């Protein structure tokens, strides 16, 4: 998924992030057994994280070290353990999902058009969540896991992102960077926490915006990210710059035609009713999904020299369960761990891949969580500034100092 960390200011980082030097230097007793489609592992049973830790009690260094994470485990070793079929594209499933998504979005707009005023919030929520499904389809196009042909991925990606006025190529390039540097300090562009020095060096208005979007107004973060980051093709080089320029001008041009037409025909109120409100719901989910995917008080960003790719993708990614209707409309984007193991897995194979990861690597997975207000407050009330010892320093703790 796309990131929701939105400011680009000069980073000043001091202090050393707690490392994982206590890990064994060799995999030890873990020995692979090859089969035709999977790579199973036998190992001495570790005490399950899910039985011994709770969301509120896990300490930053404890999560991985308790699982005795092998320091020389490579991401490709985990990829090899997945069934071969999870990487196979099924065009019937892909295009059926597009069809269903279109039908549901149209149904949502009919609900907006004909619902009495007191039911409009429900229609907006449904339609905005269906629009999030379009983003997930475009998301797979960006990873080239929707279709085999690149031009098909680019075409469908641009169309899927169009109702959201989201430039496809700028998102694609930035998001791929997130996958390469997940939870790596100074590199990851997804909700990277600021250091105290960086925060204090920022202008007051930037501090306010950062503080708001790191707190109870987290759902605004992806809007700022969209507006500030994704339309500046000067940040890209070579072919990427031309691609981003095309995507940006494409959605800007379409908006320049569609928005005045809507306002002229149905008024500003109609524009807000049919486009703005569902769009805001989409950004609620965009901000929420991307925040929950990798952010808890006990998942620590690592400095580049201490960063471990396999650890970051397997143990630094969170599986969160949402209401069934949200997972259906958003095409299982919450089943995020296998997606970080390999971006080649299409969305309709994520659950099968996740089951395999649970079977083979369950001891290393972060405990599952359930979407709720208490989960969100647990995150946004604590995960504010980077702390080299405790992962995060809350603004409340910062103000005490």
Determine, yes or no, domain membership for 59: no
**How many other CB atoms are found less than 10 A from the CB of residue 83?**
17
Flag whether 35 is in a domain: no
Encoding tokens for residue 256?
């320049």
What is the spatial distance between Cα 77 and Cα 332, in angstroms, rounded to a whole number?
Answer: 24
Whether residue 324 is contained in a domain is answered as: yes
Q: Does residue 270 lie within any of the structural domains? A: yes
**Residue 245 belongs to some domain of the structure:** yes
CB atoms closer than 10 angstroms to residue 27: 16
Confidence band, pLDDT 50/70/90 cuts, at residue 259: very high
pLDDT digits (tens, 9 = 90+) for 209-228: 999 999 999 999 999 999 99
Model confidence pLDDT, tens digit, residues 20-41 = 232 223 233 333 333 333 333 3
| Residues contacting 292, CB < 8 A, separation 6+ | 318, 320, 334, 369, 371, 375, 376, 379
pLDDT at 70: 78
* pTM (two decimals): 0.83
Q: Which tens digit of pLDDT belongs to each residue from 101-145?
A: 999 999 999 999 999 999 999 999 999 999 999 999 999 999 999
The answer to whether residue 56 sits within a structural domain is no
Q: What is the DSSP string of 55-97?
A: TTT--HHHHHHHTT--TT--HHHHHHTS-GGGG---HHHHHHH
The total of structural domains in the chain comes to 1
CA atoms within 13 A on the CB side of 256: 6
Residue 208 lies in a domain: yes
Instruction: Report yes or no: 273 and 120 within 8 Å, Cβ to Cβ.
Output: yes
**Which structural domain range is residue 136 located in?**
83-399
Considering 7-21, 32-46, 181-195, the range whose residues carry the highest mean pLDDT is 181-195
308 in Cβ contact with 71 (< 8 Å): yes
In a domain, 4, yes or no: no
């Amino acid at each position: 998924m796309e990131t929701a960390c939105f400011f680009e200011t000069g980073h000043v980082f001091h202090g050393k992030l707690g490392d994982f030097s206590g890990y064994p230097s060799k995999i030890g007793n873990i020995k692979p057994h090859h089969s035709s489609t999977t790579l199973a592992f036998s190992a001495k049973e570790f005490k399950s994280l899910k039985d011994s830790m709770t969301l509120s009690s896990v300490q930053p260094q404890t999560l991985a070290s308790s699982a005795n994470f092998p320091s020389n485990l490579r991401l490709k070793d985990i990829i090899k353990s997945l069934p071969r079929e999870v990487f196979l594209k099924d065009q019937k499933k892909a295009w059926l999902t597009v069809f269903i998504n279109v039908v549901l979005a149209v149904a949502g707009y009919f609900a907006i058009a004909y619902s009495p005023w007191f039911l409009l919030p429900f229609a907006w929520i449904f339609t905005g969540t269906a629009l999030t499904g379009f983003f997930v389809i475009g998301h797979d196009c960006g990873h080239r896991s929707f279709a085999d042909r690149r031009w098909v991925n680019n075409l469908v990606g641009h169309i899927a992102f169009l109702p959201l006025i989201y430039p496809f190529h700028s998102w694609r390039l930035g998001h791929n960077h997130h996958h390469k540097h997940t939870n790596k300090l100074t590199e990851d562009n997804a909700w990277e926490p600021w250091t105290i020095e960086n925060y204090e060096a920022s202008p007051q208005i930037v501090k306010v915006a950062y503080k708001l979007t790191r707190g109870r107004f987290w759902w605004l973060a992806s809007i700022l990210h969209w507006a500030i980051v994704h339309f500046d093709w000067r940040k890209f080089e070579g072919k990427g710059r031309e691609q981003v320029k095309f995507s940006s001008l494409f959605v800007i041009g379409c908006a320049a035609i569609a928005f005045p037409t809507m306002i002229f025909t149905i008024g500003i109120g109609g524009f807000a009713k049919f486009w703005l409100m569902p769009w805001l719901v989409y950004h609620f989910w965009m901000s929420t999904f991307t925040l929950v995917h990798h952010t808890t008080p006990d998942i620590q960003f690592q400095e580049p020299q201490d960063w471990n790719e396999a650890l970051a993708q397997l143990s630094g990614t969170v599986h969160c369960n949402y209401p069934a209707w949200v997972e259906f409309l958003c095409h299982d984007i919450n089943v995020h761990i296998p997606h970080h193991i390999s971006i080649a897995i299409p969305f309709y194979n994520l659950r099968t891949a996740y089951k395999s990861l649970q079977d083979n690597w369950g001891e290393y997975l972060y405990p599952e969580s359930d979407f709720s207000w208490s989960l969100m407050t647990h995150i946004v009330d604590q995960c504010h500034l980077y702390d080299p010892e405790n992962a995060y320093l809350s603004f409340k703790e910062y103000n005490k100092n």
